A and B are shown apart, each in its own frame.
Chain A
Amino acid sequence: MSLSLADVEKVARLARLAMSDEELKAAQTQLNNIFGLIAEMQAVDTQGISPMSHAQDVAQRLREDKVTESNQREAFQAIAPQVEQGLYLVPQVIE
């Protein structure tokens, strides 16, 4: 399996990445190299081995339902590009 340039363009668009033609071509080569690695792994006989969803074969540890975080809005918003009335401002998204 390999990615066409159109595939790479689509993935870039979904990720909201602006890429030049050269960058797209470079990304295509790099991604296809990764696909090569995947193809190699898929060739391994995994008959009788149940799939894992995580590299570590351990279970999720859970957190008690208790409030541990305090209000740090001021600190977080100090590094935001634009804030107003406590809101983070972003370019308009309404269609």
Chain B
Amino acid sequence: MTWEIVIGLEVHTQLSTNTKIFSGASTAFGAEPNTQADAVSIALPGVLPVLNKGAVERAIKFGLATGSHIAPRSVFARKNYFYPDLPKGYQISQFDLPVVGQGALTVQVEALSGNAKPYEKTVRITRAHLEEDAGKSMHGDFHGMTGIDLNRAGTPLLEIVSEPDMSSAAEAVAYAKALHTLVRWIGISDGNMQEGSFRCDVNVSVRKPGQPLGTRREIKNLNSFKFMQQAIDYEVQWQIDTIENGGTVHQATILFNPDTGETRAMRSKEDAHDYRYFPDPDLLPLEISSEWIEQVRATLPELPQAKQARYVNELGLSAYDASILTASREMADFFEAALGDATAQAKICANWIIGEVSAQLNRDGLDMTQCPITAQQLGGMLQRIADNTISNSGAKEVFRTMWAEGGEADAIIEANGLKQVSDSGAIEALVDEIIAGNAGKVAEYRSGKDKLFGFFVGLAMKASKGKANPAQLNDILKKKLEG
């Protein structure tokens, strides 16, 4: 029995503005409770919302980065529901006229099974709209009461809604990851998942191929890609089992419990979703001129996909290397700064960053922005590899020293005598000496024992204290041994 899985995502991404969407209160994370909850955030009578230009600008950026329609005119609406961390009794959101309309995001999906190849998937974006976040409820030890912190109330969110285009957990995770990279890349959100800056709701249903869509259940508030994968896998299996055992899936909002790896339905109230949307009379329509859109477009950086294509086509990197280097903007910036104009060295530069640099960062628990070696320092070292001043093993030593103590490649090479000997006269003299001192082994080699070549290389390297240019040494040694 085969089942088709249908998944759509709603992602709430917190926008990286300094202030709230409708007031000039700070949005800095981690402040004392309610110290950033101004009169608008706590909904004192008589206050009026005034829209933050920075929030709109970020929505435009997102629209441009996903090739989406940007509405020249959009409208804010009240979404009415009752909850104490929503002091107005309604959330200001957008309903039928959102700021960002249809677009798409093309993502690379890692295949799960061993032999399958990664493939491209285009996920259509239905819309993205601006809205305000709610406050936080603390169900702690308050004599049977609930504590409310309204610092987060009014923080700007962009809710990004996809079409139900994904058909596996892997595709959903790939899309969510690409979106997460994108919002950080274009600088509209810090994407900090622990702090709740990027929260995913996943709609899941199953059906038999060719059948109409099944009933969906919505997994709320997933804040890690690992949990998303687990939650979808569990939920899909649950829905299939339920139907195959003769049961029915009912529409529901569900939560994922990371401790048990299970999903469970929240208690549903029949009228919980009766939000009675209507246009907010406190807010006039938002108008976005084409001049403004063009101004914002001019500030957009080169996007990850365009960069990947350029790395492959112009720098000759593999698609794999290009995708790793564009996993974050910091990584791509580091690569480009280290490479500079030396585009011929792109492959070796990529190797160092994906290899040594990433491994050391990992080991030291650092991210790219905390790298103790600057891109320029790495670039300086790569130049010395390219012009044969140092060998690969010499470079590794330079790198270790640089990482631990800092400094420029040239100074480290000088101080530690790492300059490789590329003077053929000197290498020849050295090889002559070895041949003279090991007549027996030379005779064995000449009578066909090829394997001894490595033995001679070892001796010569040792004699040069590891500084002989390996390629040159090999050539000279081979020539002399053959007599």
Spell out A's residues near B (CB within 8 Å). 10, 13-16, 53-56, 58-69, 71-73, 76-77, 82, 84-95
Q: Is the CB of A86 within 8 A of B34?
A: yes
Spell out B's residues near A (CB within 8 Å). 17-19, 23-26, 32-39, 42, 44, 50-56, 73, 75, 80, 82-84, 89, 97, 137-139, 142, 144-150, 266-267, 271, 274, 276, 279, 281, 283-287
Chain B binding site: helix, strand, loop or mixed by DSSP? loop
Report chain A residues within 8 Å CB of B19. Answer: 65-69
| Cα distance A14–B89 in the bound complex, in angstroms | 10
Report chain B residues within 8 Å CB of A91. Answer: 145-146
- A62-B56, A67-B19, A87-B33 known; A14+B145 contact, CB < 8 A: no
| Cα distance A10–B272 in the bound complex, in angstroms | 12
Within the complex, the shortest CB–CB distance from B330 to chain A, in Å, comes to 24
Chain A binding site: helix, strand, loop or mixed by DSSP? loop
Report chain A residues within 8 Å CB of B23. Answer: 69
Q: Is the CB of B52 within 8 A of A65?
A: yes
Q: Is the CB of A15 within 8 A of B82?
A: yes
Q: Is the CB of B147 within 8 A of A14?
A: no
Q: Is the CB of A60 within 8 A of B42?
A: no
From B26, B75, B137, A69 is in contact (CB under 8 Å) with B26
Report chain A residues within 8 Å CB of B54. Answer: 64-65
Q: Is the CB of B52 within 8 A of A62?
A: yes
| Nearest 6 pairs of A and B residues by beta carbon | A65-B54, A68-B24, A87-B147, A86-B33, A59-B287, A62-B53
Report chain B residues within 8 Å CB of A85. Answer: 33, 147
Report chain A residues within 8 Å CB of B73. Answer: 59
Q: Given contact pairs A54-B283, A61-B50, enumerate 6 new A-B contacts (beta carbons under 8 Å).
A: A59-B73, A60-B287, A71-B35, A73-B35, A86-B34, A87-B142
Q: Is the CB of A90 within 8 A of B148?
A: yes
Report chain B residues within 8 Å CB of A58. Answer: 284
